[in-house]
Amino acid sequence: MALRGAAVLAWRAPWRGADGTSRVEDLVDGYADETEVAAHDAARSALMAPFVNRLAGGQYVFDGVRHQVPPVLPWEPLTMHGFARTLDWTVVDRDDDPGRPVHEDPARPVSVTLRASVAPDSHAGYPFALALEVEYVLDAGSLGVTLRARNVGATAAPVALGWHPYLRVPGHATIDRLELTVPARRAVVTDAGLLPLMGADAFGAIDGVGPLPLVGVRLDHAFGDLRTDADGRARTLVRDPATGQGLAVWQDRGLVHVYTGDGLARRERAAVAIEPVETLTDAFNRADCAADVRLEPGAVREFAFGVEVLA
């Protein structure tokens, strides 16, 4: 894990190989080296706050005041993915035996909690104060994440939370022989700039996605109104249709955005980004999301999500 952005660099978990033998494999395509960390290459494993994905024109109006937010990093072409990914996070709590590989005792989860602060004068266009916290809980077959934001300022603040992990299925150099399943009742309809259309036009009715073979498929799309399983979690699946093995990304609410990694400067289509998000892209500029993003002074917002191994 990188303290810059509290980003997961790797997640090594037990995996059954094609020959039936058990091994430990890395299931997250995170930053590969310090150069990628510094460049925030592809926002790998980014914790997204205080906004998710794109902010139209880098501007928004909140409580009657217009704010202009420049790109989070000067070399990025758009204002996107929030700036929590650029913060230096501090470990405030961790498992008492962090050096012990979790696969040695699968029944015993380990955890780490990190915190970061957003000051009213630290980010142009966002004059609000937040205390951010993330808790990662790891066991042999799952990685759970809880992201929290507390408004520590004197006025209400706009806040949306999300996660931007790239996930890989062992034995697959690309995603082309995998299939995707999204339990959605609605697909988000966007303009040419990948911004959702306004009002009800932002959604089209669907009866789920897939199982969809990913060969030749380019996705940079969001889906909403997710069907949940008996435990109240919605799960988006990426798996090998021949073996059934793969990964499930779960979330307790919100939408999911899927990006197949086309056009990445490094490791194009080697992994798929399955992004749990609380709100639509550009939620700060949408009247239909005003209540969803508003966080009153002293209030706390919590968003839970994670990844599970499909054996």
At 278, the amino acid letter reads E
> Per residue in 98-138, pLDDT tens?
555 545 555 678 999 999 999 999 999 999 999 999 999 99
In this prediction, residues 65-86 reach a mean pLDDT of: 95
What are the sequence ranges of the domains in the chain? 12-310
> Per residue in 236-255, pLDDT tens?
999 999 999 999 999 999 99
C-alpha pair distances (Å), 116 with each of 47, 156, 188 = 12, 19, 32
Longest dimension (CA), the chain: 62
Residue 160 has pLDDT above 90, yes or no: yes
Tell me, rounded to whole angstroms, the distance of Cα 263 from its chain centroid. 19
The CATH class of the 12-310 domain is mainly beta
In this prediction, residues 219-229 reach a mean pLDDT of: 97
CA-angle at 240, arms to 14 and 245, nearest 5°: 30
Which phi and psi angles does 16 have, rounded to 5°?
-90, 120
Q: Residues 6 or more apart from 122 whose CB is under 8 A from it?
A: none
In this prediction, residues 53-73 reach a mean pLDDT of: 96
DSSP string across 216-276: T---EEEEEEE---TTS-EEEEEE-TTT--EEEEEESSSEEEEE--TT-SSSTTSSEEEEE
Work out the pLDDT band at 40, boundaries 50, 70, 90.
Answer: confident
Please report the pLDDT score of residue 106 as a whole number. 57
Residue 170 has pLDDT above 90, yes or no: yes
Tell me, rounded to whole angstroms, the distance of Cα 180 from its chain centroid. 17
Tell me, rounded to whole angstroms, the distance of Cα 215 from its chain centroid. 23
Please report the pLDDT score of residue 164 as a whole number. 98
**Which of 181, 172, 249 lies closest to 213, judged by CA?**
181
> Per residue in 193-205, pLDDT tens?
999 999 999 999 9
Residue 280 has pLDDT above 90, yes or no: yes
CB 306 within 8 A of CB 145: yes
Work out the pLDDT band at 96, boundaries 50, 70, 90.
Answer: low
Strands (E), 74-141: 90-94, 110-118, 130-139
